[in-house]
Amino acid sequence: MQKILRINAFIANRVSVNSHASDYIERIRAVYELGKPKVVMLIMFTTFVGMILALPYQFSYLPWLKIFWSTLGIGFMSSAGAAINHIVDHYADAKMNRTHQRPLPTGRLNRTNAFLVAMVWMILGISILLWQTNPLTTLLTFIAMVGYAVIYTMFLKRTTPQNIVWGGAAGAVPPLLGWTAMTGEVSIEAIILFAIIFFWTPAHFWPLAIQRVEEYRKAEFPMLPVTHGIAYTKKQIVIYSGLLFMVTLLPFLVGMSGLAYFISVLGLNVLFGFYVYRLYYSPENQGAMRLFGYSIIYLMLLFGFLLADHFLYLQIQS
């Protein structure tokens, strides 16, 4: 009998240990999700490309340690902004199918812990940037974080249907930050990289807003399809897509990139235009998510082509 009791106690202890381990792993996963890793990875990629484009060096001569630490610092700051966004939006997130499984609505993290994580990430980001870059980059990164986490999330998102346009300025800064991290100054090339993402953002986000229009209406966010209707939003997507296409030609026109980039971006724009055309002439929201999905691939490829063209030019010059 005692032997059976000992076995039961051992089993209960193992179950308790496994339960604690499972809770710990779930907490780590929740913290990871709090930083919006997919979004931050795209931010870090465009930041990285901005850094490389700012330096006239072949691959093997690049200051890789500085590039690594600078990208990581901007990544921490971006994650801090994402965490604050989670805290501010946690009630609204619970009302939307797209966001109701986030860490705060599900109770996997509370607001106090989320705020502490955000502060740790922000302190790490600022410290790394001050250590590895320059005061200008640190200041601009902090302003961008405040612009997203405070100005956009707390005010613009809740007050104007143009929220994604003006709030998108914060999301367009990363490649400019990458440029200033390496050079210590804002140049015309950095502004062009900023402009590409700035005009990409509405054309990227509004298709999602069209698809999720009823969710945004339920959460009481004045997104453009909610306040002005889907037809009007489609017209705005066409306008911003046209502006995007023109801005993406600027790197070639100012001599920042070469023919390889020019040909590549023309192909990207043609396909982007095809998805915009399908959405515009389809009833209601058909084609919205296809455009939304392609727009992410579009931006990654565009910056990838900028990077490849840069090294191709340096190879030809050497």
Q: Residue 185: count other Cβ atoms within 10 Å of its Cβ.
A: 11
| pLDDT confidence band for 15 (50 / 70 / 90) | very low
Q: Is 27 exposed, middle or buried (0-12, 13-18, 19+ CB in 10 A)?
A: middle
The CA-atom distances, in angstroms, between 276 and each of 160, 178, 289 are 24, 30, 11
| Angle formed at CA 254 by CA 246 and CA 66, multiple of 5 degrees | 105
Least confident of 16-20, 34-38, 168-172, 314-318: 16-20
Asked if pLDDT for residue 22 goes beyond 90, the answer is no
Question: How large a percentage of the chain has pLDDT more than 90?
Answer: 72
What pLDDT is recorded for position 10? Answer: 46
Find the helix packing angle between 259-280 and 188-211, rounded to 10°: 20
Least confident of 23-32, 207-216, 290-299: 23-32
Asked if pLDDT for residue 239 goes beyond 60, the answer is yes
pTM for this entry: 0.91
**Radius of gyration over alpha carbons of the chain, in Å?**
23
What pLDDT is recorded for position 3? Answer: 56
What pLDDT is recorded for position 23? Answer: 76
The CA-atom distances, in angstroms, between 240 and each of 158, 214, 224, 276 are 22, 23, 14, 11
**pLDDT tens column, 121-138:** 999 999 999 999 999 999
Mean pLDDT score across all residues of the chain: 90
- The most confident of the ranges 4-18, 20-34, 258-272 is 258-272
Interatomic CA distance for residues 197 and 299, integer angstroms: 8
